[in-house]
Amino acid sequence: MRLTSVLLLASSASAISFPDLTPVTNLFARKDGGSGKCPAVWSSISKELTANFVTGGQCNPLARAAIREIFHDCGAWNTAQGAKGGCDGSLILAGELARGENNGLQNISAFLNTTAIKWGVGVADMIVFAGNHAIVSCPGGPTVKTWIGRKDSKTPAPNGLLPDVNAPAATLSKLFQDKGFDDRDLAALLGAHSTSNQFNFDTTPGKQGAPQDSTPGVWDVKYYGETLSPPQGVVVLPSDSKLAAYNGVGKEFKGFVNNQGKWNGKFADAMGKMALFGSAGTSGMVDCTDALPKSTNVKRELRAMPMFKPRN
């Protein structure tokens, strides 16, 4: 998964009081979800994605790019935008791939656009479904509530809503407070780097393509401990290092070390919220969570990994 900027990173200083986010909370309420049945096409799409996202029992580079894709389409949003922007497919449809922060997403974007056209579904829904599919395709990955029924947009997202990897922790904190995330949400979302390889941050020989934890094909909490104490071969982004030590988010970050169950639950909640950025709740949408593959056991996959074999 190519990275030129933080996927979605933020923190909130404990001394800063959060604004009233009740309208945002209401925006993401699931009680207004439609009762319609998920179209059968999404089960067919799911089978195709599995064939492309899983190699040797682990999530492969295409799957890991799909995780980055959902962050970059949905995450270019803040609460001031309300029910517009966010998860709207503009990453692919509005020329946003030319932006530096989206470098490296061209191949996965082409794949998802082609797949959406093939099956006659929206690009925005395809990005969200594929991102959540990729998360659970990784051994140990949680199931994220997945709604279908978004409107595609050719209006570019505003600039400056995806943070720079070198930004100060306080700047990232404010950026993500404006998205409606608290310290725990952001500490949990940082863990998506468990399946990340960086290609553009450090291009020195031996560093380009290096993972951000030692098991990038597996969804596990090694990222948290290895960010705090990096082993050889693991690259830690400056933003990750800063946020891991920054006030409230740092406390939550350390709380996920060796705590897979806690992290999975908090990540799924935060990701479910992000996947509805730009939607007016779930009215008129259908729940297609059951079309996603079933989660796999991280311990079983780790035991099956050959010793000393390079990982995808």
Cite the active site residues. 72
215 is in an annotated binding site: yes
54 — phi, psi (to 5°)? -120, 125
88 is in an annotated binding site: yes
193 is in an annotated binding site: yes
Q: How far apart are CA 253 and CA 242, in angstroms?
A: 11
Cα angle value 138/270/311 (rounded, 5°): 20
- List the structure tokens of 59: 């999530």
DSSP letter at 213?
S
Q: Which of 6, 75, 61 is nearest to 195 (CA)?
A: 61
The Cα-based distances of 136 to 29, 228, 306 in angstroms read 23, 25, 22
Q: Which residue has the tokens 């999975």?
A: 264
73 is in an annotated binding site: yes
How far, in whole angstroms, is CA 99 from its chain's centroid? 19
Q: How far apart are CA 9 and CA 170, in angstroms?
A: 11
What 3-state DSSP class applies to 58?
A: strand
DSSP letter at 256?
T
Q: How many Cβ atoms from other residues are within 10 Å of residue 236's Cβ?
A: 18
DSSP readout, 275-291? TTTTSSTTTT-EE-GGG
Which residues make up each annotated binding site for heme b? 193
**Annotated binding-site members:** 73, 86, 88, 90, 193-194, 213, 215, 220
Annotated binding-site positions for Ca(2+): 73, 86, 88, 90, 194, 213, 215, 220
